[in-house]
Amino acid sequence: MRATLMYGAGDVRVETIADPSIQKPTDAIVRIVRSCVCGSDLHPYHGLPEQEQGMQVGHEFLGVVEQTGADVATVKAGDLVVASFSYQDNTCEFCRVGVQTACAHPEFGFFSAAQAELIRVPLADGTLYKLPTGVDTALLPSLLTLADVYGTGYHAAKMAKVSAGDTVAVVGDGAVGLLAVLSAKQLGAERIILMGRHKVRTDLGIEFGATDVVAERGEDGIAKVVELTRGGAHKVLEAVGHRPAYDQAVGIVRGGGVISRVGVPQYEEAPVGFASLFGRNITLNGGPAPVRAYIDELLPSVLDGTVNPGKVFDRTVSLDEVPAAYQAMDHREVLKALIQF
Amino acid sequence: MRATLMYGAGDVRVETIADPSIQKPTDAIVRIVRSCVCGSDLHPYHGLPEQEQGMQVGHEFLGVVEQTGADVATVKAGDLVVASFSYQDNTCEFCRVGVQTACAHPEFGFFSAAQAELIRVPLADGTLYKLPTGVDTALLPSLLTLADVYGTGYHAAKMAKVSAGDTVAVVGDGAVGLLAVLSAKQLGAERIILMGRHKVRTDLGIEFGATDVVAERGEDGIAKVVELTRGGAHKVLEAVGHRPAYDQAVGIVRGGGVISRVGVPQYEEAPVGFASLFGRNITLNGGPAPVRAYIDELLPSVLDGTVNPGKVFDRTVSLDEVPAAYQAMDHREVLKALIQF
């Protein structure tokens, strides 16, 4: 099959490699129909040391089941499925309470081979979600966002317990930030301040429900949000992952409020003491989104067209064009590239 | 009046100073009947630089209203009252949602003059809580805990959303830790692991509801709790405030769980990234307890003797004996000293 491999920072190639095969009776093989490039794929694109052996990449996909192991019960060859970016049994103690990304199964893990024609899916019953048959092809981009970005933005809003009347600030105008805006809107937020400075993106944010856009960053950005909200936002959804975004979040959250993070932290230590979180009773939460848990909730509005999260894809490429898509996203010419097979 | 003043680390004196007086129409003057020494008073006792002018100390008190300003409406001279350790209007946006320790009133602050015969109470209507008349003197120690330690332990358990069936771990066997145990029990925790190594204290913890005691600290303590709970506690109540206690909390919390802190952090930065909090969707919260918000909830069980939080006082001293009480608490001969006037 053809697959995307990364050989080092800035070095993405599409090559022919061996097809994946069933290794355990709980596995399935899926032929990918839509995949995409994630903002988090840019981290290795920036920092991966050069290596002899290419590393497969990509963790978001939607496709048709090609083959299933003997123990797979919920999907069968021919089913159109979307996968969560993590694979889990969906039955353990953690999965049952909605923390699928802390699944206790020894095979639990995160996909990193989805920018390819075929993919092996461990724990297929807990990972693949069967989509309705005969679904309109035009819906595929929005359905694909259930694999990660929509569920991740929704996780940010859910962990922050966004509810009617809340003032929410979203840090970051990437695909996850924009879908955090959409999610906050769906959960009833009254005011949604989007912090970002790329007009094309913030315009989409406004379409998704943002009521204000703050382009300033750092101290200026903090001052602006504190002024707009007269003291800070009840809920801050941090969708970047860099330390300045954390500091921004701490600066704009209201006393007693919540900072919910879904941007993968590129730092380990950060301020949490009296001056930052403790003194004002701020809650810090979030983490890798258990998107599998949210598909049931999010699917109906996607299917009936109430929401169109697939609008975050602003370029469609073929598999062979994936290296160029990385470059375009890195240059911020493209928000999120859809890969169509 | 006689009052306790601190002149530097280890230098506590009881001296005669001017009586406080009404300064604003919202003030009251209270004649103190019971006060006490707090574990957090030991921080300046360890670290206060030597100074010419003594600094008044103490933030927990129960007493009789002596005088009220013209605007005070809810208490009058002769009322027996308990105060929260913070003073607040109890009417602002933050107070209304139960975050009294983030009160927006310009006079908002924390008491630091309660180890004395008299005290000026700013924002008396929002700060003083009138106790029933004719209350049994034997209940005064337990009623005094509503000023801080009981409400603070309860805040830890509330922020962690301790509920029926939870496994809770409490880090620290000081008065707050022990009352966090009591609070977790009241909120329905099934298993309560108390981490502490002072037998007299952990025995009281068992009386308050602890089901297990873990004396080990550091890696050994983490291993023990993880083994006992098969993977960590759902809720960790951190009642110490030193960095090793934070690290302990991170080590023993279960994926998807909560670390609720009420020990005042003696550090500013700490790990919050993928390896510590983010990767396992851990929630970090807590802060200075809005104890004023909890008095209504906690008072009935104190009055009817269902709970006896006053058991944390294991020595009673006169005001003149306060310097010796500091020393005894510092040497861990005493858990918490009650000051009787």
Instruction: Tell me whether residues B287 and A265 touch, CB distance under 8 A.
Output: no
Q: CA-CA distance, A184 to A174, in Å (whole number)?
A: 15
Q: What is the pLDDT of residue A124?
A: 98
Answer yes or no: are the C-beta atoms of A33 and A44 closer than 8 Å: no
Q: How many helices and strands, by DSSP H and E, does chain A display?
A: 11, 19
Q: Using a CB-CB distance cutoff of 8 angstroms, which residues of chain A are in contact with residue B102?
A: 255-256, 280-281
CB under 8 Å to B46, separation ≥6 — which residues? B9, B10, B330
Q: CA-CA distance, B152 to B182, in Å (whole number)?
A: 11
Q: CA-CA distance, B60 to A332, in Å (whole number)?
A: 57
Map out the domains of chain A as residue ranges: 2-148+290-340, 153-286
Q: Which two tokens stand for residue A32?
A: 């990918």
Q: What is the pLDDT of residue A173?
A: 96
| Selection from B184, B187, B186 nearest residue B168 by Cα | B184
Q: What is the pLDDT of residue B147?
A: 98
DSSP string, B214-236: E---HHHHHHHHHHHTTS-EEEE
Q: What is the pLDDT of residue A158?
A: 98
Kindly state whether B267 is in contact with chain A, defined as any CB-CB distance less than 8 angstroms.
Answer: yes
CA distances in angstroms from B251 to A180, A219, A267, B217, B246, listed in the order given = 30, 34, 19, 11, 9
Model ipTM value:
0.95
Q: Using a CB-CB distance cutoff of 8 angstroms, which residues of chain A are in contact with residue B287?
A: 277-282
Other Cβ atoms closer than 10 A to B182: 28
Cα nearest neighbour of A160 on chain B: B283
Residue type, A322: V
Answer yes or no: are the C-beta atoms of B114 and B58 closer than 8 Å: yes
Q: CA-CA distance, B89 to B103, in Å (whole number)?
A: 7
Q: Using a CB-CB distance cutoff of 8 angstroms, which residues of chain B are in contact with residue A94?
A: 255-256
Other Cβ atoms closer than 10 A to B127: 29
The torsion region of residue A271 among left (phi > 0), alpha (psi -120 to 50) and beta comes to beta
Q: What is the pLDDT of residue B89?
A: 97
Select the residue of B267, B273, B281 nearest A101 (Cβ to Cβ): B281
Q: What is the pLDDT of residue B121?
A: 98
Which phi and psi (to 5°) does residue A108 adopt? Answer: -50, 140
Q: What is the pLDDT of residue A117?
A: 98
Q: Which two tokens stand for residue A6?
A: 């990364």
Q: Determine the residue among B93, B154, B272 to mutate to test chain A binding: the one whose Cβ has the most chain A Cβ atoms within 10 Å.
A: B272
CATH C-level class of A2-148+290-340: alpha beta
Domains A2-148+290-340 and A153-286 share a fold: no
Work out how many CB contacts closer than 8 A connect A with B.
117
The mean predicted confidence, pLDDT, of chain B is 97
pTM over 0.90: yes
Alpha helices in A114-268 (DSSP H): 124-127, 140-144, 149-159, 175-186, 199-208, 218-228, 243-252
Segment B252-281 mean pLDDT: 97
Q: Which two tokens stand for residue A58?
A: 């990509």
Q: CA-CA distance, A151 to A159, in Å (whole number)?
A: 12
Q: What is the pLDDT of residue A100?
A: 94
Segment B78-88 mean pLDDT: 98
Q: What is the pLDDT of residue B71?
A: 98
Q: What is the pLDDT of residue A41?
A: 93
Residue type, A89: D
Select the residue of A270, A275, A283 nearest B285 (Cβ to Cβ): A283
Select the residue of B94, B268, B290 nearest A273 (Cβ to Cβ): B268
Q: What is the pLDDT of residues B293-310, one digit of tens each?
A: 999 999 999 999 999 999
Q: What is the pLDDT of residue A114?
A: 98
The H or E element spanning position B7 is strand B2-8
Residue ranges of chain A whose pLDDT lies below 70: none
Q: What is the pLDDT of residue A85?
A: 97
Cα nearest neighbour of B263 on chain A: A278
Q: What is the pLDDT of residues A53-80, one digit of tens each?
A: 999 999 999 999 999 999 999 999 999 9
Residue type, A115: Q
Answer yes or no: are the C-beta atoms of B176 and B168 closer than 8 Å: no
Q: Using a CB-CB distance cutoff of 8 angstroms, which residues of chain B are in contact with residue A163?
A: none
Instruction: Tell me whether residues B264 and A274 touch, CB distance under 8 A.
Output: yes
Question: What band does B338 get if pLDDT is binned at 50, 70 and 90?
Answer: very high
Long-range pairs for B192-196: beta carbons < 8 A, 24 or more residues apart: B192/B167, B192/B168, B193/B167, B193/B168, B193/B169, B193/B225, B193/B228, B193/B229, B193/B233, B194/B169, B194/B170, B195/B169, B195/B170, B195/B171, B195/B221, B195/B225, B195/B248, B196/B172
Instruction: Tell me whether residues A269 and B269 touch, CB distance under 8 A.
Output: yes
Q: What is the pLDDT of residues B309-330, one digit of tens each?
A: 999 999 999 999 999 999 999 9
The H or E element spanning position B301 is helix B291-303
CATH of domain A153-286: 3.40.50.720
- Gap from B151 CA to chain A (nearest CA, Å): 15
Other Cβ atoms closer than 10 A to A197: 13
Question: What band does B111 get if pLDDT is binned at 50, 70 and 90?
Answer: very high
Q: What is the pLDDT of residue B263?
A: 92
Segment B251-279 mean pLDDT: 97
